[in-house]
């Protein structure tokens, strides 16, 4: 599963392997950065190229993107909304299912509380993925949390169902 | 020139030919619609596919996109911001220069007043392009206005400079 925490200046990407109800394993994380001094078309183009490359590199079964909310700072929300469109498109364009989650859905899935703060989230992600140190920067932890949430919320369910069908039909995998 | 008035439900596209200070000619206009009942990834994907197709079909020298402003209704502005990212990307991805204009820049260029209302804008676009009837729906008129604004604001300047260079160097065109 590939999780994307959208941002125009810093966009977190987390790749996690796992099945619902089982421990997850971190595959990789990345932060795509674009220069705020650069023009918007170049920033969006760079984000598109990097996210498209990471999706092709990791070949996830599906993509989870954090849903943008309007109650945040209105200026930054515009850039975040634009980055989220590019993130959703990077998955949809290659035919992957793309699911969006609100920040509180992700927090609730990871910590049990929709009100968890950044430190609690980072600490839980570090524990859940059995990492030696917290992922840095925080954008990466958020993206990994999204990927874990997506796995636990059944993002892999259709894959499992398909595998179960194959077993029932006498296949080996 | 291809102008895009971004919207997730209705996205206007206007194609206009012309040079700064000269009358402009309408080539075509389109409104790309996506179903508000459809999931976001499918809507963004459809918008991307349609805009990419229209850019390829009309082969504009450059693309103008209306800049999204935060003072509008915060709920609709999110969808508009996402649509504008797709619009900017549709031009940037094929290597075209993409310019953004604020609504009042476009209004001022077309009517002489940054405060012009929709009816004044539609009426001026109809006159400037010498159309028999106003373009319908209004999203199309806004997109055509953007393309005209882009031409008048010198969107073609670099093309002209290149042509002048060729003439100076003894070329025929």
Q: Provide mean pLDDT across the span B31-47.
A: 96
Q: Which member of B48, B50, B139, B142 is catalytic? A: B139
Q: Is this prediction's ipTM beyond 0.90?
A: no
pLDDT, one tens digit per residue, over A112-124 is: 999 999 999 999 9
Is A59 marked active-site?
Answer: no
Which domains are delineated in chain B? 2-168 (3.30.420.10)
pLDDT, chain A, mean? 89
d(CA A66, CA A145): 10
Query: What share of chain A has pLDDT > 70, as a percent?
Result: 86
Q: Is A139 a catalytic residue?
A: yes
- Report the pLDDT value the prediction gives residue B136, as an integer from 0 to 100: 87
Q: Which of A48, A50, A66, A142 is catalytic?
A: A66
pLDDT number for residue B30: 97
Dist CA A126 CA A129 (whole Å): 5
Q: Write phi, then psi, for A98 (nearest 5 degrees).
A: -120, 125
Q: Please tell me the predicted confidence (pLDDT) of residue B167.
A: 58
Element (H, E) at A166: helix A157-168
Residues B153, B151: Cα–Cα separation, whole Å: 6
Q: Rounded to whole angstroms, what are the CA distances from B84 to B4, B38, B41, B47?
A: 8, 19, 15, 10
Contact A41 B74 (CB under 8 A): no
pLDDT of residue B161: 52
At B168 the pLDDT is 59
Low-confidence ranges of chain A (pLDDT < 50): 159, 171-173
Q: What are phi and psi of A59, to 5 degrees?
A: 40, 55
Burial letters A28-50, b for 16+ CB under 10 A, else e: ebbbbbbeeeeebbebbbbbbeb
Contact list, B45 vs chain A (CB under 8 Å): 89, 92-93
- What pLDDT does B13 receive? 98
């Amino acid at each position: 599963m590939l999780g994307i925490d959208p941002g125009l200046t810093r966009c977190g990407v987390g790749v996690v392997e796992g099945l619902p109800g089982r421990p997850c394993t971190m595959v990789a994380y990345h932060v795509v950065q674009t220069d705020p001094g650069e023009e918007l078309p170049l920033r969006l183009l760079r984000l598109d190229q990097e996210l498209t490359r990471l999706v092709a590199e990791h070949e996830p079964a599906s993509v989870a993107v954090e849903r943008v909310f309007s109650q945040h700072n209105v200026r930054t929300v515009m850039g975040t909304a634009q980055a989220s469109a590019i993130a959703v498109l990077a998955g949809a364009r290659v035919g992957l299912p793309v699911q969006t989650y609100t920040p509180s859905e992700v927090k609730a899935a990871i910590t049990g509380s929709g009100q968890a703060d950044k430190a609690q989230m980072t600490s839980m992600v570090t524990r859940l993925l059995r990492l030696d140190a917290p992922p840095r920067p925080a954008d990466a932890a958020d993206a990994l949390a999204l990927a874990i949430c997506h796995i636990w919320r059944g993002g892999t369910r259709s894959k499992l169902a398909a595998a179960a069908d194959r077993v029932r039909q006498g296949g080996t995998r």
